Amino acid sequence: MYAQAYFAYDSKKSGGVTISHLRFGKSPIKSTYFVNKANFVACHNPSYIDKYNMVQDVIPGGSFLLNCQWSVDELDEKLPAPVKAYIAKNNINFYIINAIKVAKEIGLGNKTNTVLQSAFFSIANIIPAEEAKDYMKKAAYKSFSKKGEDIVNMNYAAIDRGAGEVIKVDVPASWASCEGELPVHKAVSDRKDLEAFINNIQTPCNAQRGDELPVSTFTSMPDGTFPQGSAAFEKRGIAVDVPEWIPENCIQCNQCSVVCPHAVIRPVIMTEEEAKNGPASMKTKDATGMAGYKYTMAISVLDCTGCGACVNTCPAKTKALALKPLDSQIAEQESFDYAHKLQSKPEVLEKFKETTVKGSQFKQPLLEFSGACAGCGETPYAKLVTQLFGDRMYIANATGCSSIWGGSAPSTPYTVNAEGKGPAWGNSLFEDNAEFGFGMFLAQDTLRARAQAHLKAVAEKPGAEHAKELIDKYFETANDGAANAKATKALVSALEACPHKDEDMAEVLKLKDYLSKKSNWIFGGDGWAYDIGYGGVDHVLASGKNINIMVFDTEVYSNTGGQASKATPIGAIAQFAAGGKDIKNKDLAGIAMKYGYVYVAQVSLGADKNQCLKAILEAEAYDGPSLIVCYAPCINHGIKGGLAIAQQVEKEAVEAGYWNIFRFNPALAAEGKNPFSLDCKAPTGDYKAFMMREVRYNSLTRQNPEKAAVLFDKAVANSKKRYDDLVGLVDYYKPAE
């Protein structure tokens, strides 16, 4: 790694130079050095031990700490040969600690950083161990006192136990004779461009050897385009615990699949023959409503982040999912790989319509295995959109969280289906992403109009009778994405089979990729949509064009440090609102509804999955601009219980009146129906109790209780008025009898 180091010269010391600081600050000499050897190296995630050359960075006689759930006796089996050999040959002081177990027992969940920091000081002996613990506890109090006494005490316990539970390993002499290299998994794919990219670029970059690649390596992607679907080949295996499916408890509702942020858990219906030919470890049960078919919940455990959202969402009386250690579930990966490759079955989607929550999950997600936070509140929305329209989508993405989980080099989580079709994704800046998406729409719409003009010319010519019916069908379905895709496919096949192609037909075939109706989407967070990019958002909505905008509303600038945005609610603490935001948040949906011709919806997946699905389908079907604002819990909220309960939080937000869900569909007004639908009932939950489960609110009660009381009362009053106003809209838009 590269470190910015500050040095102080001291001629009295051996070597003349000592490192004084590894941070930014004032110092006599400043220089950048490549640090490749250290006295102490630690591996905090056991999945990295066979992915990166880490122990080789320890100087002979130095110390290496491995955080793992393995016992000393299991190390010989679990550690790669080159790791064991280096430790033995270089007299490395080898230590292990089960910080995962310690953090769980204390109540910190998967947060092991304090445990491991304490372990470091107990091993490194930089300062006396007791003195180090004292310093750490003072720092913990300073960092966590605003989050409550319980959090402080948990960190105190982590410091005490981290120092006390380190195990020194007696390294066997036999390790010195171990031979081998770290495993390098070569990708094999039917798509040779993808295979070459993964083996030549992605794998070296993921192994932190990207700087070693020559420029010539990148000639395979001269236009800067990354092949879709490369994230599926990473198989990071970073989760400590992953879900195990318990068939006898499963009610086959598919809700676990809906909420999975990383698309690692998927329902599959297969024939009895397919089930029989599957791996011996694969679990199945009879498919509900489809006699002679088998159902399985396939889980890609090596892509799972272990958030537990699926377990917490499962509505079965006795949970059909349980978190188990990754090592115990490795065999499930083979089952997932087998089930994932099976051909999709039209009869499944005939029985379970893709317009239903259950049926939608039998469609392949074209956003999978992203780099989003474990339990992310944003990705389930985007994933659902790709299941519905991904094979014909354009996505313009604003810089922010959605560009990090959507396309962090070198991997790409947006993928393609068996026909090689998937979302065309491009990223732009905060300030101009809406304009960028508008340009994408105008470009493809112009090319489509050009192709249609030539197609009309073809239809009017003598001898075109053989294609007339197909051309008519094409134009009849021109504004229906799914139907038009089928009509376009049949039409293009017929035109390509035609032995004599005139100029107009040749132009149609030249532009055939633009003939079918595309689903145009613009993605981004609230910092973009409410603030920096709002001018562009408003411009697109006012255009009247058929473009869909999806806003992942985390109520804060999530990706840039947690700064307050115009979506940040009253009373919330954030950067630039350290004393609690004292004005209410912007009503983006309400502003958009004022146009009258914009489809607008506010949704919360955990509160009402059917309403969310309806909103997405209606927005895409509406021949005009649409805006969907999605409530997305975020790690910046400091939720008690973490993002594992993100879907529960989404539900309780609506019940408490903190977030309201509704739809405004101008197409209904044209039919003489009420375009406004309030999809949530009057709040029954405790608004303040909902707020108190999040650090961004409850910290204000400790910091300034008087101000908190005032702001929270204002927040409650605002929520009541907001709901009353929405009820009023139902009557306002009611058609005259």
Q: Has residue 49 got a pLDDT over 70?
A: yes
Is the dihedral angle over the CA atoms 498, 501, 502, 504 positive or is it negative? positive
In a domain, 573, yes or no: yes
Q: How confident is the model at residue 23, as a pLDDT?
A: 38
Q: Give the pairing of strands 285-286 and 293-299.
A: antiparallel
Secondary structure class of 555 (helix, strand, coil): coil
Q: Write down the pLDDT at residue 444.
A: 95
* One-letter identity of residue 171: V
Percentage of residues of the chain with pLDDT beyond 90? 80
Grouping H, G, I as helix, E, B as strand and the rest as coil, residue 312 is: helix
Structural domain contains residue 80: no
Segment of 60-69, 109-118, 181-190 carrying the highest mean pLDDT: 60-69
pLDDT mean across residues, the chain: 91
649 C-beta neighbours (distance < 10 Å), count: 25
Q: Alpha-carbon torsion 357, 359, 362, 364, what sign? A: negative
The pLDDT value recorded for residue 19 is 36
Q: Are 298 and 268 in contact (CB under 8 A)?
A: yes
- d(C-alpha 400, C-alpha 528), whole Å: 8
DSSP secondary structure string, 86-152?
HHHHTT-EEEEE-HHHHHHHHT-TT--HHHHHHHHHHHH-SS-HHHHHHHHHHHHHHHHGGG-HHHH
Q: What is the pLDDT of residue 354?
A: 94
Q: What is the mean pLDDT of residues 22-36?
A: 48
Judgement on whether residues 561 and 662 belong to the same structural domain of the protein: yes
Residue 182: inside a domain: no
Higher pLDDT, 552 or 1: 552
Within 10 angstroms of residue 499's Cβ, the number of other Cβ atoms is 4
What is the average pLDDT across 276-295? 96
Report, as an integer, the average pLDDT of 123-138. 90
pLDDT tens track for 403-429 = 999 998 899 999 999 999 999 999 998
Higher pLDDT, residue 343 or 718:
718
Q: Are 721 and 603 part of one and the same domain?
A: yes
Report whether pLDDT(35) > 80: no
Q: Are residues 473 and 582 in the same domain?
A: no
**Contact between residue 692 and residue 637 where contact means Cβ atoms under 8 Å apart:** no
Question: Is pLDDT of 471 > 50?
Answer: yes
Whether residue 202 lies inside any domain: the answer is no
pLDDT at position 476: 96
579 and 479 in a common domain: no
| pLDDT of 287 higher than 80 | yes
pLDDT at 9: 29
Last residue of a domain, one of 363, 398, 416: 363
Give the helix/strand (H/E) hosting 700. helix 695-703
For the chain, percent of residues with pLDDT exceeding 70: 95
Q: For residue 201, which amino acid is it?
A: I
Q: Is the pLDDT of residue 135 over 80?
A: yes
| Mean pLDDT computed over 299-306 | 96
As a whole number of angstroms, the distance between CA 47 and CA 89 comes to: 23
Helix, strand or coil, per DSSP, at residue 599:
strand
pLDDT tens, residue by residue, 588-603: 999 999 999 999 999 9
Helices (H), 251-391: 255-259, 272-276, 309-313, 326-329, 332-340, 346-351, 357-360, 379-389
Half-sphere CA count of 595, side-chain side, radius 13 A: 22
CB neighbour class for 502 (10 Å; exposed up to 12, middle 13-18, buried from 19):
middle
Q: What pLDDT sits at residue 86?
A: 96
Confidence of residue 70 (pLDDT cuts 50, 70, 90): very high
Nearest one of 352, 348, 382 to 259, comparing CA atoms? 382
Q: Count of CB atoms within 10 A of residue 194's CB?
A: 22
Instruction: Answer whether residue 22 shows pLDDT above 70.
Output: no
Residue found by looking up tokens 């009253």 in the block: 570
β 626-631/676-678 pair status:
unpaired
| pLDDT, position 15 | 34
pLDDT score for 109: 83
Residues 579 and 679 in one domain: yes
652 and 571, same domain (yes or no):
yes
Provide long-range contacts, Cβ within 8 A and 24+ apart, for 285-290.
Answer: 285/247, 285/248, 285/250, 287/252, 288/252, 289/351, 289/352, 290/347, 290/348, 290/351
Phi, psi of 719 (to 5 degrees): -65, -40
CA separation, residue 24 to residues 1, 21, 27, 30, 443 (Å): 16, 8, 9, 9, 47
pLDDT confidence band for 95 (50 / 70 / 90): very high
Q: What average pLDDT does the segment 725-734 reach?
A: 96
Using pLDDT thresholds of 50, 70 and 90, give the confidence band for residue 54. Answer: confident
Same domain for 334 and 480, yes or no, is: no
Task: Report the CATH number that the domain containing residue 667 is assigned in CATH.
Answer: 3.40.50.970
Residues 580 and 681 in one domain: yes
pLDDT band at 402 (very low <50, low <70, confident <90, very high): very high
Band the pLDDT of 209: cuts 50, 70, 90.
confident
**Structural domain includes residue 235:** no
Report the number of distinct structural domains present in the chain: 4
pLDDT band at 694 (very low <50, low <70, confident <90, very high): very high
Residues 262 and 333 in one domain: yes
- Within-domain flag for 714: yes
**Cβ-contact 384, 258 below 8 angstroms:** yes
The domain that holds 265 is classified in CATH as: 3.30.70.20
State yes or no: pLDDT of 18 exceeds 50.
Answer: no
> Can you say whether residue 453 is alpha, beta or left, with left for phi > 0 and alpha for psi between -120 and 50 degrees?
alpha
Domain for residue 646, yes or no?
Answer: yes
How much is the average pLDDT of 56-82? 94
Who's near 461: CB < 8 A, 6+ residues apart? Answer: 502, 504
Average pLDDT over residues 369-381: 96
Per-residue pLDDT tens over the stretch 163-185: 999 999 999 999 999 998 888 88
pLDDT at 34: 57
What's the pLDDT score for residue 507?
A: 95
Contact call for residues 586 and 578 (beta carbons, < 8 A): no
In a domain, 177, yes or no: no
- What distance, in Å, lies between the first and last C-alpha atoms of the chain? 72
**Residue found by looking up tokens 């990705």 in the block:** 379
| Residue 14, pLDDT score | 33
* Same structural domain, 497 and 597: no
Predicted local distance difference test score (pLDDT) of residue 33:
52
Domain final residue pick, 363, 386, 409: 363
pLDDT at 468 over 80: yes
Whether the bond between 410 and the residue before it is cis, its omega within 30 degrees of 0, is yes
Residue 714's domain comprises 555-732
Helix axes 481-497, 503-510, angle to 10 degrees: 130
Whether residue 508 is found in the same domain as residue 583: no
Considering the domain architecture, whether residues 560 and 496 belong to the same structural domain is answered as no
Which of the listed residues 335, 363, 391 is the one where a domain comes to its end?
363
From 157-161, 188-192, 317-321, 352-356, the region with the lowest mean pLDDT: 188-192
Report the predicted TM-score, pTM, of the whole model to 2 decimal places: 0.90
pLDDT at 184: 80
**Contacts for 222 with CB less than 8 Å, ≥ 6 apart:** none
